[in-house]
A and B are shown apart, each in its own frame.
Chain A
């Protein structure tokens, strides 16, 4: 494999994913918000609510197309940039993507057209149903892609077939109802609802600050703040479950999220902290320059038990006999046995030696659990970038707390007081729009950077997963994507801003 190839392949995928997730959250949440607004319109028959619905729908459409475009790229990049991965696990990974296409995308795109062009063509009820179906369709598609992602974090429901040299699905339900997949799905759509609610309340706040379209803004604010408050509670619960799953299935990621080098019982969470950059696995420096810790919180979060033992990076890399944790070096040894057994198996099969093949197969099966470790060069390589994982995790959690508070305040002031009289609160809502996006992207960085070096946890490191191709190709395509996506993002933001300035009266 050419030097830097895997880094460029990762960079290209990260670029696409980060851009994709700038647009997806709004599609996930605003779809429902608009559907709620239209339901109120259909129930009350009020033209004001129709106007509110149409305004937010316009913004939904501006955002929708570019989300679809970046999504298409993501799907095909599994093939273009991760060809080996696509073969090695395509038998499992491809299925959710195909089901996504059949069950979700057509629903989304068919009723999207009705939602936008059907106002005067179909009946009120059919139109309302279409709007709801767009929201349901987009969330269903999120389900399937997150099932696929959850499977990469915690592969289940499959067995390795040495004849085809790939993993084959043996239990579809295990893949679909994997606890990691479900918590990932719930937490991710929750983040979409949150971003959407911040978007609606923030823009409404802007109108109120300018003292224009006041009735429109207040009504939008009520829907947005209620939706956001419920979403925040939901995010707290699903976030807790996500962390619990990480603790059980990806302990290295959890340790990196907290910068925890030494395992301990009754472990606390660092609420605020600055990592010591010189700290590494082998020296005895303090891990933080400064930290404020919430006692017991990490044990509680990870294992739902205040006294539980949380293994640190040192325990996970070098092993801890007392706690029954085997070292990475040992896993690498077993992984190499598996890799060699596979080669022996292929050789024996080629030569028609059935006995030898059966022997190799037995050895392979015994050590398959550590197959991926057979390609790891140094034990320390299984630790993801700690600083990035740590900071993004803490940014996400802190912002999540702030959003919960913000929505509670907004909800209170918009229903019980004249919210226009509280410009500081309104300004906070406005400035929280970008914070929502930062939190959502940070969550993805925790999930994806935190599981490095694995494309599939314990089975395939990214270095093996990448398509074999001259690095220059990926460098060129990276920059082409970067330029194109950025141009389109600028266009989107400008169009969006302009439409907001025009406001509900002038938009169509």
Chain B
């Protein structure tokens, strides 16, 4: 049986699962961003800083690529979200993009002679990307729960109702919760990644200290965020497509979809377990467990907001303009064609794993970074 014979709804669900998976992978790869904010805290001298930057510098393109694919997949699978949110919440997305442009060049240019802006500026670019960029992404995703101010006209063209074009999301304090939670989570996963990839005791000691400091902050914001969404009103959509407000919608979603709830709990437990093993037993392999935990947790949250008759991008200006996976998706034909393309994903993940494995067999050491033959950032 091919994808073409599946119901449209099944294809829409399949694609929302892929979007959720990509979202999860992206948040996991944000260990690069988190790592960028730690380059000063975890280093005592230039060599150590260079070691840190080189450890994450070999992975930054992957985060970038995941972001591009996330955009492309949304464009193809849920074009109405693409046009409504990117066109509508103009400044939030542009601000995020600015934070990523400056990241892209900073690794390569940082220590090159005659680099115009100077090493300090490129390092601050990395820090801005790792903090502001991550925070804003959290705020943007948080509007999936808090809603946004837009109306769709009869052509389904977006009319944004707030002249701040997306920045108004910052006026809602609840949106800060996920923003900060992501910032601290990325710092934790960044430290976990350093533990596993750098063979240098002073850095490892400081990485553990940093996890100890960031973990409680992460938990504070993350649990507040979860408390908020599980108790707040949500946006339910009926079989005929009518959107209504439902109390405890997101809590109901977890209870109605036990599989998603189990995923969520498993993910959170894995993250906590990874942090515990790293801090208490000084294990260095925890980025894998922690990373898998992050992917599961994020996926579960996105499945919660997309499935079970939920409007995942609600409009507070006009309830019926809210986006659901049904009314915002591509056509049956396009989703089918894309589904065939998605069969390549395991193959892609396979060669990424192979390349990572080949590269990371050898951990970064002081000697390597100081060797004259090295291509360093």
- A494 at the B interface (CB under 8 A): yes
Q: Interface range on chain A: under 10, 10 to 19, 20 to 34, or 35 or more?
A: 35 or more
Q: CB distance B76 to A95 under 8 Å? A: yes
* A488 partner residues in chain B, CB cutoff 8 A: 101, 105
- B87 at the A interface (CB under 8 A): yes
Tally of A-B Cβ pairs under 8 angstroms: 275
Given A102-B345, A102-B348, A117-B375, A95 contacting B338 (CB threshold 8 A): yes
Q: CB distance A97 to B76 under 8 Å? A: yes
* A117 partner residues in chain B, CB cutoff 8 A: 54, 58, 359, 375
- B2 at the A interface (CB under 8 A): no
* A273 partner residues in chain B, CB cutoff 8 A: none
Contacting residue for B165 out of A58, A61, A469, CB 8 A: A469
Q: Which of A108-116, A197-205, A280-288, A442-450 contacts B (4 or more CB under 8 A)?
A: A108-116
Q: CB distance B62 to A61 under 8 Å? A: no
Q: How far is the CB of B253 from chain A (nearest CB, A)?
A: 27
Q: CB distance B116 to A92 under 8 Å? A: no
Given A101-B69, A491-B115, A508-B372, A94 contacting B330 (CB threshold 8 A): yes
- B107 at the A interface (CB under 8 A): yes
Q: How far is the CB of A122 from chain B (nearest CB, A)?
A: 5
CA distance A286 to B194 in the complex (A): 71
- B265 at the A interface (CB under 8 A): no
Question: Which chain B residues (326-376) contact chain A, with CB distance < 8 Å?
Answer: 330-331, 333-334, 337-338, 341-342, 344-345, 348, 351-352, 355, 358-359, 361-362, 372-376
Q: How far is the CB of B121 from chain A (nearest CB, A)?
A: 10
- B221 at the A interface (CB under 8 A): no
Q: CB distance A98 to B341 under 8 Å? A: yes
Contacting residue for A65 out of B76, B105, B114, B155, CB 8 A: B105
* A473 partner residues in chain B, CB cutoff 8 A: 90-91, 165
Contact pattern, B 80-117, Cβ under 8 Å of A = 1, otherwise 0 = 10111111101101100110111111011100111111
| Chain B, residue nearest A488 (CB) | B105
- B47 at the A interface (CB under 8 A): no
- B241 at the A interface (CB under 8 A): no
Q: CB distance B157 to A87 under 8 Å? A: yes
| Chain B, residue nearest A114 (CB) | B355
CA distance A90 to B78 in the complex (A): 9
* A122 partner residues in chain B, CB cutoff 8 A: 358-359
* B72 partner residues in chain A, CB cutoff 8 A: 75, 94, 97-101
> Looking at B79, B84, B155, which has the most chain A CB atoms within 10 Å of its CB?
B79
* B375 partner residues in chain A, CB cutoff 8 A: 58, 61, 116-117, 119, 508
* B71 partner residues in chain A, CB cutoff 8 A: 72, 75-76, 79, 97, 101
* A484 partner residues in chain B, CB cutoff 8 A: 98, 101-102
Q: How far is the CB of B368 from chain A (nearest CB, A)?
A: 8
* B65 partner residues in chain A, CB cutoff 8 A: 101, 105-106, 108-109
- B240 at the A interface (CB under 8 A): no
Q: CB distance A113 to B58 under 8 Å? A: yes
Contacting residue for B104 out of A68, A75, A79, A111, CB 8 A: A68
* B116 partner residues in chain A, CB cutoff 8 A: 487, 490-491, 494-495
CA distance A99 to B69 in the complex (A): 8
* A61 partner residues in chain B, CB cutoff 8 A: 108, 375
Q: CB distance A87 to B355 under 8 Å? A: no
Given A76-B97, A97-B76, A102 contacting B344 (CB threshold 8 A): yes
Q: How far is the CB of B172 from chain A (nearest CB, A)?
A: 21
CA distance A80 to B331 in the complex (A): 22
* B109 partner residues in chain A, CB cutoff 8 A: 62, 65, 491-492, 495
- B61 at the A interface (CB under 8 A): yes
Q: CB distance B341 to A99 under 8 Å? A: yes
Interface set of A (CB-CB < 8 Å, partner B): 58, 61-62, 64-66, 68-73, 75-76, 78-88, 90-95, 97-103, 105-114, 116-122, 126, 130, 161, 164-166, 168-170, 172, 346, 467-470, 473, 477, 480, 484, 487-488, 490-492, 494-495, 497-499, 502, 508
Interface set of B (CB-CB < 8 Å, partner A): 54, 58-59, 61-62, 64-65, 67-69, 71-77, 79-80, 82-88, 90-91, 93-94, 97-98, 100-105, 107-109, 112-117, 154-160, 163, 165, 330-331, 333-334, 337-338, 341-342, 344-345, 348, 351-352, 355, 358-359, 361-362, 372-376
* 26 sample A-B contacts, Cβ–Cβ < 8 Å, listed by A number: A62-B109, A65-B105, A65-B108, A76-B71, A79-B75, A82-B87, A83-B157, A83-B158, A84-B158, A86-B82, A87-B155, A91-B334, A94-B334, A97-B76, A98-B75, A101-B72, A106-B351, A110-B355, A113-B359, A119-B373, A121-B359, A172-B333, A467-B87, A468-B159, A495-B116, A508-B375
Q: Which 3 A-B pairs have the closest CB atoms?
A: A83-B87, A79-B86, A90-B79
